[in-house]
Amino acid sequence: MRKNKLEKIKTVPGLYKYKNINGNYEYIAKVKINYKIKQRNLTKHYQVINQTEAKRVLELFKSEIIGKTIVRGDKITLNTFFYDTYIKTKNEPIQKEYTSYYKCHIKEDIGHFSLSDIRKSAIQTEINKMYNKKKPNGKPYSNRTVAKYQEILRNVFNEAIDSELIESNPASRLKIQVVDNERNLYYIIKSDFIVAIKKLLEEIDKVENQKYKLCLLMLVFTGRRVRELLQLRYIDIDFSTNFILSRKEKKKNKRQSGLIYLNNEIMGIIKQLQQDNSNDTYIFQSKSKKNQPYLYSTIKEHNKKVIKNTDIEFFENETLYIHDYRHFFGQIMRKRIKDLLLIKMVLDHSDTDITTIYSQYGPEDSQEVLNQYYNIVRNNTV
């Protein structure tokens, strides 16, 4: 028997028929098993002579194998599957991140629907609504926040498919708009950028915990991403040259981190931490979690305290985020070195178009160039 000769019987889910060599119909039953039982696609061949008999035998087959305890996608809600099954298989950082997002954006919207009742159109509608929603500070959600709605649901439904609760993924091929919400320091802080970063450094220097202090200093003076820094191990540091060595493994975005130089102030703290924590693998190793670095949220909260203690003057409803240290580097150094490719290398961007977002010109730059133009045209000054 070849599989492509099977004919699905639409009125009886799970039942198929085919013609044998004698031209008579025989029947195949396919039964989906409870996802908690590690058995799938069980089939059984019955010699029956008509569809009615095949249907009756199929029901007996179900009872025989699973004792009438079959669980299908129409019997389990998204909330139940997410909390009882999906999230329990993830590591702690993912659990914390996904659970927080799910509770805030998904649980009340579509979580009460059964898995098989959720349609692509319903998910698309909820995603579209997010573009009109505002964060507590009155700003729209970022593209990354909106895209995470699809990311989480796509992963959840893929696991539901693997568990044979549903057959297709309604969270695939959704339309994610691109919202213009790029960060621009000129519209965030009123003071000069160098003055602002110096005020931040004054507060960072007051941080007593040396690991927190080191992480914040590295954010300021290396231009790297916080999650990248948290994964650093002592063996990643070349103590003879003050460079972080390149990691051989590729990232998801198919880029590799280049060599990162560490100034003497940072290296002094690293050497002292290594001496005080000789058994640690990670530079930012947590004391509460065995052989694990700090969570991103931990550094984020300490950075909030630092910013709160400064007297930096912000525009209305604005503040600085942990990622803005990279913007400071781009904005300040663009005017001094005027080499976009070098800034791109330090910030580890895949394209210079991204780097231009981190190193934009401001009002004083337009003032300077317009004055130059005026002097050239009006005063014949070159």
How many whole angstroms separate alpha carbon 292 and alpha carbon 2? 52
Nearest CA to 151 out of 108, 216, 97 is that of 97
Domain spans in the chain, listed from the N-terminal domain onward: 3-66, 78-162, 190-365
How far from 246 is each of 52, 243, 251, 257, 346, CA to CA, in Å?
Answer: 67, 9, 12, 6, 13
Highest mean pLDDT pick, 131-135, 182-186, 259-263: 259-263
Token pair in block for residue 239: 């103590």
Does domain 190-365 fall under CATH 3.40.190.10? My reply is no
User: 225 pLDDT exceeds 50?
Assistant: yes
Own/partner pairs, 341-346, CB within 8 angstroms, 24+ separation: 345/258, 346/222, 346/223
Beta strand pairing call for 237-238 and 42-46 = unpaired
Q: Which helix (H) or strand (E) holds 161?
A: helix 143-162
Residues 6+ apart with CB under 8 A from 17: 6, 7, 9, 25, 26, 27, 28, 51, 54
User: 176 pLDDT exceeds 80?
Assistant: no
Token pair in block for residue 126: 């909820």
First to last CA, the chain: 88
Provide the whole-model pTM.
0.62
* pLDDT tens readout for residues 1-30: 444 467 777 666 667 777 777 777 777 776
* pLDDT tens readout for residues 137-171: 777 787 888 889 999 999 999 998 888 788 889 99
What are the percentages of helix, strand and coil residues in the chain, rounded to 5?
50, 10, 40
User: 53 pLDDT exceeds 90?
Assistant: no
How far from 41 is each of 3, 47, 141, CA to CA, in Å?
Answer: 14, 19, 42
